[in-house]
């Protein structure tokens, strides 16, 4: 599903992540590792948000640098700590991302109701609690027809009922639409009830299968 080759990511000339070769099969992959180990850096790189050296290819077809738009249409990302311009409403942001991601008719409304974002649809994000920001970021990451969704710390600040709804929906997308997910969490992912395809350990600037 996702192939990473010769990846090196540095900040200000200091290398924080090296991934010589990583092949992720379709399914749900869980990345674990301590604070500062490189999980967010890896996710932001795969999401196409950070410059890096190497190649990242989706479904043997879309290479992130060679096919920047086609790749980004198929890879969605929710930040661990989302931040948005504070004068925009949930509706503004959902409308903008839905258009960019060519969201099917009715998808925005369905997700807004499922995640409870419709309850604060017209509020500007400056008034949002951290859980409200998290719900909005998850809604935005599910828009369009992604082949791969990266969720960085989806459990943090999410209320229990919404988390259960989210994980049911992830299960549906994985089984019926072949969508793959990469997750990080400092919490116990077995609580999600999801069938994790593979667990990866991130540390010392490398990613290896967890034992």
Ligand X SMILES: Nc1ncnc2c1ncn2[C@@H]1O[C@H](COP(=O)(O)OP(=O)(O)OP(=O)(O)O)[C@@H](O)[C@H]1O
**Cβ distance to ligand X smaller for residue 20 or 34:** 34
In three-state form (DSSP H/G/I as H, E/B as E, the rest C), the secondary structure along the chain is CEEEEEEEEEECCEEEEEEEEEEECCCEEEEECCCCCCHHHHHHHHCCCCCCEEEEEECCCEECCCCHHHHHHHEEEECCCCCCCCCCEHHHHHHHHHHHCCCCCCHHHHHHHHHCHHHHCCCEHHHCCHHHHHHHHHHHHCCCCCCEEEEECCCCCCCHHHHHHHHHHHHHHHHHHCCEEEEECCCCHHHHCCCCCEEEEEECCEEEECC
Quick one: which segment of 32-40, 64-72, 94-102, 171-179 binds ligand X (CB under 6 A)? 32-40
Quick one: which segment of 37-45, 129-137, 161-169, 171-179 binds ligand X (CB under 6 A)? 37-45
Quick one: which segment of 18-26, 34-42, 106-114, 139-147 binds ligand X (CB under 6 A)? 34-42
Q: Taking CB under 6 A as the rule, does residue 164 contact ligand X? A: no
Q: Which of 38, 54, 144, 154 binds ligand X (CB under 6 A)?
A: 38
User: In whole angstroms, how close is the CB of 114 to ligand X at the nearest point?
Assistant: 27
Q: Which of 2, 30, 37, 179 binds ligand X (CB under 6 A)?
A: 37
- For ligand X, the binding residues (CB under 6 A) are 11, 16, 33, 35-41, 80
């Amino acid at each position: 599903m996702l192939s990473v080759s010769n990846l090196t990511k540095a900040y200000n000339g200091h290398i924080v992540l090296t991934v010589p070769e990583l092949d992720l099969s379709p399914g749900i992959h869980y990345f674990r590792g301590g604070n500062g180990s490189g999980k967010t850096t890896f996710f932001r790189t795969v999401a196409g948000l950070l410059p890096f050296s190497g190649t990242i290819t989706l479904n043997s077809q879309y290479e992130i640098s060679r096919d920047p738009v086609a790749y980004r249409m198929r890879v969605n990302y929710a930040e661990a700590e989302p931040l948005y311009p504070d004068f925009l409403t949930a509706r503004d942001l959902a409308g903008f991302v839905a258009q960019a991601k060519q969201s099917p008719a009715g998808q925005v409304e369905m997700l807004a109701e499922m995640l409870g974002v419709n309850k604060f649809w017209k509020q500007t994000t400056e008034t949002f609690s951290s859980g409200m920001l998290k719900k909005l970021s998850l809604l935005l990451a599910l828009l369009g027809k992604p082949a791969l969704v990266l969720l960085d710390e989806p459990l943090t600040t999410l209320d229990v009922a919404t988390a259960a709804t989210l994980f049911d929906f992830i299960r549906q997308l994985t089984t019926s639409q072949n969508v793959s997910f990469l997750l990080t969490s400092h919490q116990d992912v077995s609580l999600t009830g999801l069938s994790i395809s593979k667990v990866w350990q991130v540390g010392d600037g490398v990613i290896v299968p967890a034992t």
